[in-house]
Amino acid sequence: MISTEVVIIGAGPAGLFQVFELGLLGIKAHLLDSLAQPGGQCTELYPDKPIYDIPALPVCGAQELVDRLLQQIKPFGATMHLGEETVGLVRREDGRFTITTAAGTEFDAGAVVIAGGVGSFQPRHLALPGVEVFEGRHVHYKVASAAALHGKRLAIFGGGDSALDWTMDLATKAAGLTLVHRRAEFRAAPASVAKMRELEAAGYVRFIEGVAQELLTEQGVLRGVLIKSPDGMVHTVHAEQLLVFFGLAPKLGPIAEWGLELDKRAIRVDTEKFQSNIPGVFAIGDINTYPGKKKLILSAFHEAALVSFAVQHHLYPAKKQFLQYTTTSPIMQKRLGVTGA
Ligand SMILES: Cc1cc2nc3c(=O)[nH]c(=O)nc-3n(C[C@H](O)[C@H](O)[C@H](O)COP(=O)(O)OP(=O)(O)OC[C@H]3O[C@@H](n4cnc5c(N)ncnc54)[C@H](O)[C@@H]3O)c2cc1C
């Protein structure tokens, strides 16, 4: 069990800046995210898009913003636990919290800040009856071992970079590979599409425009899948391994089960401390709601600043609180690893 002052759930812009604001007050945090990299929506959904409403940065790429935040929080050495969905949050009788992740990591924390955004990102599943039985063994949403797919008959679903990258990687190593996409146009990089077409011309890839209609099974064994084309034709694809890359969709997931007061899938908080109905559990960024809430990065930053004072008071009620400026505070500058002018 890892013991810490604060656990922050979610490493989007809100969670990252929370590390900074707590750090300025000398409070240590562990940061948890179900994704393999920090950045939340900025990194996952629109890394290359410019953002124009971050104060004092007239224009900033979404990934650039995340990189800048990571640089800004570096002095505080928060440990990140990435690729681990937080599944459990329990307030113990002593008022502290036990937080657990799907990977089995356990934390003991004095306060929790939920910065879960629109929820944890989960792969969109193949929507076919009976598919659950094969998920993980024959139907995959990520590739755990490419070598295990060599020599197998594969069907890859999707039109984005993941689908095309794995098509290029596995085409010559599989016993047969069919790529299925609902449209003739692809979202993937044009160079990848061109390479896929080359592999198709060379006979390594069969491309079908269409959608999966039915799994073909024989005595509980997956044999393939039926694909329906826009012209109504049904194609039989023989494959024992299906790789599905339909992108990621956010799901509120376990957060809904922690006894928090919710309002339309958002955590209801006050606007002084951004505290939930559970004392010691705070919520910032897109995941919270209060009268007038605007889901902007700017709002998340403000909320993080106020939460850090609320957390300090929750952890150390006897401690006197006063506002210090980073410009002039020697203790803050020490924490930041800089020296004042
Ligand atoms: C296309 C697009 C353009 C946008 N442009 C702007 C803009 O110009 N200006 C602006 O201010 N805002 C913009 N936004 C909105 C902005 O991105 C969000 O307000 C911001 O990302 C919210 O930050 P967050 O940290 O609260 O949540 P998120 O960025 O959603 O991050 C939350 C993180 O929490 C993780 N998480 C959730 N549940 C769990 C769990 N149970 N366990 C572990 N991890 C979990 C998720 O995996 C995720 O990484 C835009 C959004 C989109 C989609």
* Chain segment 47-78, per-residue pLDDT in tens: 889 999 999 999 999 999 999 999 999 999 99
- Record the tokens describing residue 198, joined without a space: 């080359």
pTM (two decimals): 0.79
d(CA 49, CA 63): 8
Give yes or no for residue 340 having a pLDDT over 70: no
Closest CA to 155 of 274, 249, 166, 146: 166
Average pLDDT for 279-305: 98
What does pLDDT average to over the chain? 95
CA of 13 relative to ligand 1 center, distance in Å: 7
pLDDT in tens, 146-168: 999 999 999 999 999 999 999 99
Nearest protein Cα to ligand 1, atom 3: 46
At residue 164, the 3 state secondary structure works out as: helix
pLDDT in tens, 233-243: 999 999 999 99
CA of 178 relative to ligand 1 center, distance in Å: 35
Q: Give the strand pairing for 241-244 and 29-33.
A: unpaired
What one-character DSSP code corresponds to residue 287? G
**How distant, in Å, are the alpha carbons of 70, 127, 153, 164, 258 from that of 196?**
36, 25, 17, 7, 46
Looking at residue 143, its pLDDT comes to: 87
Asked whether 165 and 192 are in contact (CB, 8 A), the reply is: yes
Closest approach atom of ligand 1 to CA 101: 42
Looking at residue 341, its pLDDT comes to: 54
Q: Give the Cβ contact number of residue 264 at 10 Å.
A: 6
Give yes or no for residue 119 having a pLDDT over 90: no
Mutate to test the pocket of ligand 1, among 30, 41, 107 (most ligand atoms within 8 A of CB): 41
Ligand 1: which residues within 6 Å by Cβ? 9-15, 32-35, 40-42, 45-46, 49, 51, 53, 85-86, 115-121, 253-255, 285-287, 295-298, 300
Closest approach atom of ligand 1 to CA 10: 34
CA of 119 relative to ligand 1 center, distance in Å: 9
- Record the tokens describing residue 83, joined without a space: 């690729």
DSSP assignments along 218-274, one per residue = ETTEEEEEEEE-TTS-EEEEE-SEEEE---EEEE-GGGGGSS--EETTEEE--TTT-
pLDDT in tens, 178-215: 999 999 999 999 999 999 999 999 999 999 999 999 99
